[in-house]
Structure 1
Amino acid sequence: MAKPQTRRDQNREARRAAIVSAAREAFLEHGYAATSMSTIATQLGGSKGTLWAYFPSKEDLFAAVLDEVTSNFRQNLDDTLRPEREYHATLLDFAERFLRKMLDPDSIRLHRLIIGESGRFPEIGRLFYARGPQIVMERLSRYIAGRMEAGDLRSEDPLQAAMHLIQLIQTQQNLRLWGIIGIPEPDEIRVHAEKALDLFDRAYAT
């Protein structure tokens, strides 16, 4: 049984959440290089020493922001990719959810940040990959491997198959990143997800 939280623990968690929320907006609005720990501390109305007590470095704080941005989608993956579901409905559900996440305004800002600054700060690219794409790829490939064993999909490299499906889904994201299109309507997202899955089936379905 979990130990009840004390008022001090609750206050500390609330303070940490406030720091991460402020940092999230600062990073996504101004970028990684232009955001300093001092700026965030000033915005929160506290000392930089208090901020350092929660996060020893800007990299640690950025990692916490990444966890917040990606946590809900990562938590939903296990529910989405349940092995007992019919595989086509499951992958269509995944494709729609993944595309909605990729086209979300904060996701677009985050991807622009990573693309624009990971050349100078390769550590943020590694952090992003470990907390987002790598987890999605591993869980999707594990699901696909199960479907290959069940005979729903041809026996191929499941990781390569997962990469192909994700790349098919992500084509719309590039248009958003470049400012070509706005946020698609739900029916447009579903149509794109269906087309991506149709191409995937042509390559991998038995």
Structure 2
Amino acid sequence: MINIKPIQGVALSIETSRIKRGRKFEQVVAGARSVFLREGFEGASVDEIAREAGVSKATLYSYFPDKRVLFVEIALREALRQAEAYDEQVDLNLPPNVLLPVAGRKLLDFMLSDLGQALYRVAVGESERFPEIGRKFYENGPKLVRDRISEYLSQAAARGEVRIDDFDLAAEQFLELCKVRAVTLCTFQPRVSVDAAERDKIIRNAVDMFLSHYGVKS
């Protein structure tokens, strides 16, 4: 288990020190969501977000100090919304060779999406200056997905479908296998795209490698 100690003397709360809530807060969030999903982070302007939300720039800035903090709030909400929709659609009683390809592909597709790539870059780029951004990204992204895969693997082990001692470690290993080649490539070369056939190949090999180690042979 890895224990992460907080940096002493660093304020870790964007909610209390950076973001302020008010009567039109959700109105601003809704407008920003529409603009970010349509234009992306770089293409979205504060003026356009304010117009879409039907508020003044002064009102927008009274809630969010800058575009990056607003983007992280929207992106993490969107990631959580997709995760909740995924939970509703996926039957956790499915065997690993059926469920893991679906879970892996959804993860890869999100990581390669414009939203996923922009969120990753902003979270990493701003995490030292604003530690809360990094914390929120980790808790609502990598940790959330890991915990859900870990819980599924625990259930699969109870059914005798896999043999695993450390479910969190196994979940992280699977998730890293699903990101091989594609995520790093697209992070450093944003104009590169990975087609459906290549994504299928990456996930297929990730599942095969994972189950060759943890799977129970019938």
Of 92, 99, 104 in structure 1, the residue corresponding to residue 108 of structure 2 is 99
Q: What TM-score do the two structures reach when normalised by structure 1?
A: 0.76
Q: Where does residue 156 of structure 2 map in the other structure?
A: 147
Displacement after TM superposition at 1:99 (Å): 0.9
SS at 1:82's partner residue? Answer: coil
Displacement after TM superposition at 1:183 (Å): 2.1
| Cα contact 1:118–1:125 (8 A) shared by 2 | yes
Q: Where does residue 50 of structure 2 map in the other structure?
A: 44
1:119 aligns with 2:125: no
Higher helix share: 1
| Cα contact 2:50–2:57 (8 A) shared by 1 | no
Change over 3 Å in CA distance of 1:63–1:26 after alignment to 2: same
Q: Where does residue 169 of structure 1 map in the other structure?
A: 178
AA aligned to 2:203 is A
Q: Where does residue 3 of structure 1 map in the other structure?
A: none
Tell me how far apart the structure 1 counterparts of residues 64 and 111 of structure 2 sit (CA, whole Å): 30
Change over 3 Å in CA distance of 1:183–1:23 after alignment to 2: closer
Of 62, 73, 94 in structure 2, the residue corresponding to residue 85 of structure 1 is 94
1:28 aligns with 2:41: yes
Of 152, 160, 167 in structure 2, the residue corresponding to residue 158 of structure 1 is 167
| Cα contact 1:96–1:190 (8 A) shared by 2 | yes
Tell me how far apart the structure 2 counterparts of residues 178 and 142 of structure 1 sit (CA, whole Å): 32
Tell me how far apart the structure 1 counterparts of residues 198 and 33 of structure 2 sit (CA, whole Å): 33
Q: Where does residue 8 of structure 1 map in the other structure?
A: none
AA aligned to 1:19 is A
How many matched pairs? 188
Percent identity of equivalent pairs: 25
Q: Which moved more, 1:131-140 or 1:64-73?
A: 64-73
Deviations 1:76-97, CA, capped at 9 Å, x for gaps = 3314542222321111111111
| Cα contact 1:66–1:128 (8 A) shared by 2 | no
CA RMSD of aligned residues (A): 3.1
Change over 3 Å in CA distance of 1:27–1:99 after alignment to 2: closer
Q: Where does residue 31 of structure 2 map in the other structure?
A: 18
Displacement after TM superposition at 1:57 (Å): 5.3
1:69 aligns with 2:68: no
SS at 2:173's partner residue? Answer: helix
Q: Where does residue 199 of structure 2 map in the other structure?
A: 189
Tell me how far apart the structure 2 counterparts of residues 12 and 125 of structure 1 sit (CA, whole Å): 22
Tell me how far apart the structure 1 counterparts of residues 31 and 75 of structure 2 sit (CA, whole Å): 15
| Cα contact 1:80–1:94 (8 A) shared by 2 | no
* Runs of 4+ displaced beyond 6 Å: 23-27
AA aligned to 2:211 is D
| Cα contact 1:169–1:196 (8 A) shared by 2 | yes
